[in-house]
Amino acid sequence: MKNTTLVGCIVAVILAILCIVGVIFFLSQEETIPEPEWSYLVDESKFPYPVIDSNEKLEDISIYWYRRHPYRRPLKLEFVGHFPKVPDKMLLYKIILQKNVTEAYIRELAEKHFDMPTDAVYRRDVSYYHLNTDAYNFMYQAHNGFFRIFKHKKARENLSEDRKDYPSEEECIRIATEYLKERDLLPEYAYLGGVSGINIGSIGAMEVWFTRNLGQYKFCGHGSVIIVCIGVAGEITDVSKRWFEYQPYKLVPIRSPKEAFEHLIHRNASPRTSTGKATKVELAYHTPYIDQYIQPVYCFIFERTESYTLVPAIKPEYLKSHEVMRKEEEERRTTRIKKVNNHDSKDGKVSQ
């Protein structure tokens, strides 16, 4: 009798434990949000930044790639690679620009990095500030911080379309690196992006470029790049820098890689080919021409071509319409023209 009672108690305890475990498991399942097949959930508690509100519309950067007269039919593109699993949200970064751009600031910048003489002729147009000498032109773009200096062809020592007249790729890298370091133009975290002589016939120079990553992601297209053009016998002919300061802003939901590819096919983003096979896709960052944010994009790589195609990674409901963007650009252009026409050389401030 005692044994029967003991066994009954043990069974009751076991059943009670199983019930408790079952309840806990059920509750945990109720609280767990299932992950989509294509993404993993970002732990928002690890980011001290809010998720962007859908009312805060961002630039749809694909407007700069679309054909003006899109094909009536989808592009004949095929994805033969593997769609990676990606986060369901990405961090949006805000660009920090020079607040007040004046003639004095332009002259100081050009003198600091390129020894531009103080008597260089200053002028300003709708998009750029310029400093000119008989040999060089320095230009600065206020709305994105891009600057460039190039040597006029008539002032160059030699011109040639023969690759043999130019330094080797290794020499070009050395020349470019030393030049940038001497002028405090090469950040420590920049790395070599590549070297190419493909444009020798058109620009008469080898090109060496440097770039950087944003966290674990690369920049694609407009973003962070420093380019040095090297002419015959190692002559520096052109240097440009597009290198923003930035700060984290907000988390933004992104679309799936498959949705991005469908967008590419049916919305006519502009690859260099209308047919072909994409073999790889990866998340990257891109800086629009006029936007104030660094945005996540999908970068599709195609076989049999050195080109890539970018598709906005941000979900469409967080993007402005193209109609709104065209209207805003026209308003900005009108404002810039008025400012140039009314410009006082003693105070050359530009609205950001």
Residue 14 within a domain: no
Residue 26 within a domain: no
Tens-digit pLDDT profile for residues 259-274: 999 888 876 555 555 6
CB environment 224-253: b (16+ within 10 A), e (fewer): bbbbbbbbbeebbbbbbbbbbebeebbbbb
Domain residue limits at 78: 47-95+248-320
DSSP assignment letter at 346:
T
One domain, residues 174 and 121: no
One domain, residues 90 and 103: no
Q: Tell me the CB-side half-sphere exposure of residue 15, using CA atoms within 13 A.
A: 6
Least confident of 114-118, 186-190, 244-248, 267-271: 267-271
Higher per-residue pLDDT: 337 or 24: 337
Higher per-residue pLDDT: 206 or 4: 206
> Which residues, in sequence order, are bridge partners of residue 141?
146
One domain, residues 237 and 260: no
Distance CA 229, CA 22 (A): 68
Angstrom distances, CA of residue 3 to CA of 6, 9, 12, 225, 314: 5, 10, 14, 82, 68
Residue 289 within a domain: yes
Tens-digit pLDDT profile for residues 285-333: 988 766 789 999 999 888 866 667 888 999 999 998 888 888 888 887 7
Counted domains in the chain: 3
pLDDT (mean) for 86-101: 91
Tens-digit pLDDT profile for residues 18-28: 556 554 555 45
* H helix runs in 32-48, sequence order: none
